[in-house]
A and B are shown apart, each in its own frame.
Chain A
Amino acid sequence: MLESPQEFVDAVSDVSVDLYRDEVFGIAGESGCGKTTLVRVLYGHIKPPLVLKQGSVELCTEDERPIAITSLSLRKRQRMVWWKRISYIPQASMNVLNPTMRIRDHFAEMLKVYSGMSKERAYPRAYEYAETMGLPSDALKAFPHQLSGGMRQRTVIAMAVLLEPDLVLADEPSSALDVITQRTALTFLKDVQTKLGNTLVLVTHDMNIHSVLTDKVAIMYAGKIIEIGKTSDVFQKPLHPYTRALIESLPRLGDKSQRTGLGGQPPDLRRPPEGCRFHPRCSHAWAACSSDEPSLLEKEDERRVACWLHA
């Protein structure tokens, strides 16, 4: 929840997700739907104005009891969880690199700080690591400003997985990149996930990216998950009218047929509409939609949808 001096806004409300090992989980939705807020909660990065009113996030580990991320102190989160167990790649993260440091020194620095390696051991280990990640050697010697956006993004991704975390959260990792560099950065992210066998949460508004990269996808609208399922199923047969609108409004090369977008505006979350939050814009809405809120119900195998049409 986001706090303003006068009131609270439910930026994310009543969301439950299970993430499994060795999967790419997508979170889709448009601006203001709460996808970034959700990821920040998953990361345990809860700082005012963001306030967690209810619920928790637990990380299961192989050897220990589950770690309740949201109830740890900031210091513990920093020492035990961040980078080692959960990494976060924020939006426009290619700009986080220190402009006065060479790329290879960024890696060495991380090893020194987080695994307590000595300088002598950290440097060779950093070079070796960067090489296995497929970063070209001239890029390692360069300063960040000398590299293209795509190469910087790959560097940040490589840094995020340096300590082999169980969970990588990537928030719009490619929205500032061009299609070709976007493809190299995202396939790189996917390769890394396959190599480590961990979980990747990919947040993006771009449905096309979900269609080629994620295994499962959750669609958010106005702070709620309205549909969740295997990506291929969701694209083949979107159940929620909003999901269908998102997918069908995308233009395709080779197809000039008339496309129409959604009418209306997303709701003001300070005063969300009664009932289903999508009903004012929904062409299938009927009486129940404006009075009662549909809950996210299991429809088929691993497929859940919050819509009265399917209840």
Chain B
Amino acid sequence: MRGVLPVGSMHEVSMGVDKMFLLDVVNVTKVFGYGFLGRARFRAVDNVSLHQEDEPKILTIAGESGCGKTTLARTILGFMEPNEGEVKYKGRNIHRLRSKEKLWFRKEVQAIFQDPFETFNPMRKVDAYLYEAAKNLLGLKSVDEATKCVEESLEFMGLSLKEVEGKHPSEFSGGQLQRMSIARALLVRPRLIVADEPVSMIDASMRMNIINTFKDMKRKLEVSFIYITHDLATAYYVSDEIGIMYRGSLVEEGPAQEVLMERHHPYTKALVSSLPEPGKREEWLKKTKASGLEIKEFLSPGCKYANLCLKAFEKCTKQKPPMFPVRKANVACWLYESQ
């Protein structure tokens, strides 16, 4: 499918730097206001740096609700501007693109969202979305070309144009609809797909079918992924690299195998040990420390996990830990300072 890509001139420009990342998130901070007139402020994303190399890889950003993973995804997609820091795609700051470059960026980077019923307008036919993408983003003028393109991407997702044609979103199940939204994203032959909780609304028995198509897309079509999820089991299954976020900060990042199996940060440990799994009954039923008031943690000057951390010492509540390299991972925890 990549073979038929109409090669644009713009993304072939090389940037004369020694190593260019596909995506480079540099010290991104996003601040939101809350309370009376939004005067009180908190950092939904707090000084996060991540990068994705220029080869097909799946990078997962995992964390619990309110950890800032969706805000980060929306910043990467260019939906919101960071208050500090920048997001570079192929060396260009995506929040400072000229209008021509914007079209290029929208073609190169596609998004998949959590709720497929919200992705599609219930009054419109779903195939219209696919044709629209073919026309506007790929610039295909003839109907035949567009149809061929639509068919190809639907086929890749295990659907056929016949079952989709002329139907409204309400005639499909969530799983089918999500496949269509992925087919739509795939249609423009993106280089990177940002998928925000793409399977959390899909029944577990069918979830893996969609996750497997991500792996296929990576292997066969060389698409990179940023997979945003709270589900560590699917994250382990599908991703090459992973970053764990907590209350706006990145606490640990590295190869998925290293981060999820070795677990250096106390938060990563707590997260993994809380996963229910067959055969873990006794261990899982043990008592744990519960979080009470959320906002306190966002405003903490030190490590945001210090309140709940069993290994916290004085420094943890006062000073924010930087990233320390631990084996193949990077961990933001004072425990690893001396190493």
Contact = CB atoms under 8 A, between A and B. Distances in A.
Interface of A: 30-31, 136, 138-139, 142, 146-151, 154, 178-184, 187, 190, 205-209, 211-213, 235, 245-247, 249-254, 256, 258-263, 265-266
A265 B290 contact: no
A9 to B, nearest CB: 16
Tell which of A205, A258, A259 has the most Cβ of chain B within 10 Å: A259
A266 B286 CA distance: 37
B293 A138 contact: yes
A149 B66 CA distance: 11
* Interchain residue pairs A-B with the least CB separation, the first 9: A178-B64, A211-B278, A30-B203, A261-B208, A251-B237, A261-B209, A208-B276, A262-B205, A183-B274
A134 B277 CA distance: 26
Nearest to A183: B274
A146 B292 CA distance: 9
B205 A181 contact: no
A146 B203 contact: no
Contact of B234 (A187, A251, A258, A266): A251
6 contacts: A151-B291, A182-B274, A212-B276, A235-B278, A250-B233, A266-B173
A182 B207 CA distance: 21
Contacts, number: 139
B64 A251 contact: no
A242 to B, nearest CB: 8
A184 B290 contact: yes
B82 to A, nearest CB: 25
Contacts of B207: 249, 261
Contact of B173 (A150, A208, A259, A265): A265
A183 B291 contact: no
A246 B205 contact: yes
B281 interface: yes
Contacts of B237: 251, 256, 259
A5 B176 CA distance: 27
A136 B292 contact: yes
A16 to B, nearest CB: 25
B9 interface: no
A211 B203 CA distance: 18
B271 interface: yes
Given A181-B290, A184-B288, A209-B276, A249 B281 contact: no
Interface of B: 64-65, 173-176, 203-212, 230, 232-234, 236-237, 260-261, 270-272, 274-281, 284-288, 290-295
A212 B277 contact: yes
A148 B294 contact: yes
A212 B290 contact: no
Contact of A262 (B176, B206, B294): B206
Contacts of B233: 250-253
A180 B272 CA distance: 9
A265 B285 contact: no
B284 A212 contact: yes
A281 to B, nearest CB: 9
Nearest to B295: A146
A141 to B, nearest CB: 11
A235 B237 CA distance: 21
Contact of B275 (A30, A179, A190, A259): A179
Nearest to A174: B276
Given A180-B271, A262-B206, A253 B236 contact: yes
Contacts of A154: 290
Contacts of B65: 149, 178
A179 B236 contact: no
Contact of B274 (A139, A179, A252): A179
Given A249-B205, A252-B277, 6 more contacts: A180-B288, A208-B276, A213-B285, A253-B275, A259-B212, A266-B203
A146 B293 contact: yes
B292 A205 contact: no
A90 B270 CA distance: 28
A251 B176 contact: no
Contacts of A208: 275-278
B285 A180 contact: no
Contacts of A146: 293, 295
A180 B276 contact: no
Contact of A150 (B203, B230, B270, B290): B290
B270 A251 contact: no
A212 B280 contact: yes
B234 to A, nearest CB: 5
A139 B296 CA distance: 13
Nearest to B285: A187
Nearest to B282: A212
A266 B203 CA distance: 10
Contacts of A179: 64, 230, 232, 271, 274-275
A194 to B, nearest CB: 10
